[in-house]
Structure 1
Amino acid sequence: MTELFLAHRLDLVRLAFLLAGDQETAEDVVQDAFAAVYRRWSRLAEREKVLPYLRAAVINGCRMVHRRRSVARRFRGDREVPFWSAEAAVLLGESRREVFLAVRALPRRQREALVLRYYLDLSEAEIAEVMGVSRGTVKSTASRALRALAATLQEER
Structure 2
Amino acid sequence: MQVATTGEPARPEDARGWGADDAIGALFSAHYRGLVRLAVLLLHDDGLAEDVVQDAYVALHRRWWRLRDADKALAYLRTSVVNGARSALRRRGVAERHLAREEGRQEPAASAETGALSLLAHREVLAAVRRLPARQREAIVLRYYGELSEAEIAEAMGVSRGAVKSHAARGMAALRQTLERTR
Same fold per TM (> 0.5)? Answer: yes
TM range (shorter): over 0.9
How many residues of Structure 1 are paired with residues of Structure 2 in the alignment? 153
Report the AA paired with residue 91 of structure 2.
R
User: What stretches of structure 1 move > 2 A for 4+ residues in a row?
Assistant: 42-45, 87-90
Report the AA paired with residue 166 of structure 2.
S
CA contact (8 A) 2:46 2:114 kept: no
RCO comparison, higher one (Cα < 8 Å, 6+): 1
1:19 aligned partner: 42
Residues 64-108 of structure 1: CA deviation (Å, up to 9, x unaligned): 1110111011111212221322x4433x2xx31111111011000
Residues 16-59 of structure 1: CA deviation (Å, up to 9, x unaligned): 01100121111111011001111112332211111111101000
2:51 aligned partner: 28
Let me know the Cα RMSD of the aligned residues.
Answer: 1.2
CA contact (8 A) 1:124 1:139 kept: yes
Question: Normalising by structure 2, what TM-score?
Answer: 0.80
Report the AA paired with residue 135 of structure 2.
R
Gaps in structure 2 of 5+ consecutive residues: 1-23, 101-107
1 CA distance for matches of 2:114 and 2:44? 9
Structure having the larger proportion of residues in helix: 1
Q: Is the partner of 2:122 in helix, strand or coil?
A: helix
2:85 aligned partner: 62
Question: Normalising by structure 1, what TM-score?
Answer: 0.92
Note if 1:135 corresponds to 2:148: no
Gaps in structure 1 of 5+ consecutive residues: none
CA contact (8 A) 1:104 1:111 kept: yes
1 CA distance for matches of 2:68 and 2:139? 28
1 CA distance for matches of 2:63 and 2:113? 33
User: Aligned match of 2:111 in 73, 81, 84?
Assistant: 81
Note if 1:110 corresponds to 2:130: no
CA contact (8 A) 1:110 1:142 kept: yes
